[in-house]
Amino acid sequence: MAKKREISADRPYVLKGKLIGLKTLRKEDADIATPMFQNMELITYLSTRRRPETVESEAAFFDRVLKNEEGEIHFGIFELKGDRYVGGVSLMHINPNNHATLGVAINDPACWNKGYGTEAVRLMVEYGMFFMNLHNIRLGFFGYNARARRAYEKAGFKEVGRFRGTVMLAGKRYDDVWMDITRDEVDLARMWKMVPMIEMK
């Protein structure tokens, strides 16, 4: 009988929803992520590179993000049931007290269509608006990724524009679509509960 994985007490959840939570990343997470990035369907949704990641390329990505440099922040997405790593969410190109760009991926196809992506986006948006004082968060996706659009709309994002015909797949052109959300459209009550000694305004 396989030993049940223990929930790591030395890496607590930074943010928790009902289905998933966000944790800081560790180098060993790259070993879990690399096999997931052999899936060409996932890769096609996320990147125009359209090539599987190697152990070395994924390790290099983790080495960079683990430096926790100014201008970006990255979290792992963990399924609460079993404390299992299933993807990642990031804020990049952060302009302090103003705006940032969000990126998200649920890497495990077994976890698609379960609301994990929408919840991860909501948590990251609330974090950015509350703790980083962002006013605007934007994101982009390829026009053929209908599931991404649904997830982002459920999280409160609205389309603001598109670059027409700038993405190619199988000889066909698709739009590069952009959406955003502003602070006045986000309920920050969950974040206020994380700092109970500060009076909610």
Task: Identify which of 36, 16, 30 has the alpha carbon closest to the alpha carbon of residue 105.
Answer: 36
The answer to whether 177 and 153 have CB atoms below 8 angstroms apart is no
Angle between helices 116-131 and 146-154 (to 10 degrees): 50
Averaged pLDDT for residues 176-182: 98
Note the pLDDT of residue 8: 56
pLDDT tens digit sequence for 59-111: 999 999 888 888 999 999 999 999 999 999 999 999 988 999 999 999 999 99
Averaged pLDDT for residues 46-56: 89
Domain ranges of the chain: 15-191
Note the pLDDT of residue 69: 86
Averaged pLDDT for residues 124-147: 97
- 15-191 has which CATH code? 3.40.630.30
d(CA 39, CA 35): 8
108, amino acid identity: D
Please provide residue 106's backbone torsions phi and psi, each rounded to the nearest 5 degrees. Answer: -95, 105
Note the pLDDT of residue 5: 44
* Pair of tokens at residue 146: 């209908």
Note the pLDDT of residue 3: 42
Q: Measured at the alpha carbon of residue 62, what is the angle toward residues 75 and 36, in degrees to the nearest 5?
A: 80
- Between the alpha carbon of residue 112 and those of residues 52, 107, 162, the distances in Å are 19, 8, 25
d(CA 153, CA 57): 32
